[in-house]
Amino acid sequence: MKTLTLLLLAVAAMPVFSQSDEPAKVLFDAGTRDEQAGKLDRARLTLLTLAGTYTEHPLATKARAEIGAIYLFKEAQSQVQAGQPTVAYGTFRTLIRVYPESPLAKLADETAKSLGVPADPRK
């Protein structure tokens, strides 16, 4: 009976696996979804897995870029918590300039604006 149950579960799961994209894309999508949800540590780990496992895949390059964006975002958050809004503003602006395609760029822009730091005329 256990064997039949396991077999039925395996057969039921097959369409899920066959419909999924390639593993690198699944990891990348999961990582960026976690970024957008604010689960930055989880996103970083997922993207590190992608970059380390599929080193030659084109998405590995994008994953490494997203990891850089996550590090900058977290650094800026630390600066805000340390009472350094001007420094944090600069870090958020750097993230936006270096990683404009990152899901974190929009959040960084909103957060930078909310700090109340005068806009840099060199923006």
CA distance 85 to 14: 51
Q: Is residue 6 part of a domain?
A: no
Q: What angle do CA 79, 85, 88 make, to 5 degrees?
A: 50
- Residue 30 lies inside a defined structural domain of this protein: yes
Give per-residue pLDDT as tens, 95-119: 999 999 999 999 999 999 998 876 5
Per-residue pLDDT tens digits for 48-72: 999 999 999 999 999 999 999 999 9
- 120, part of any domain: no
Number of domains observed in the structure of the chain:
1
Q: What is the mean pLDDT of the chain?
A: 85
pLDDT at 1: 57
Residue 101 covered by a domain: yes
- On whether residue 54 sits in a domain, the answer given is yes
What is the number of residues in the chain?
A: 123
- Average pLDDT on 1-12 reads 49
How far, in Å, CA of 34 to CA of 2, rounded?
36
Q: Which domain, by its residues, includes 81?
A: 22-114
Tell me, yes or no, whether 93 lies in a domain.
Answer: yes
Query: Helix (H) and strand (E) counts for the chain?
Result: 6, 0
Asked if the structure places residue 10 within a domain, the reply is: no
- Specify if 99 maps to a domain: yes
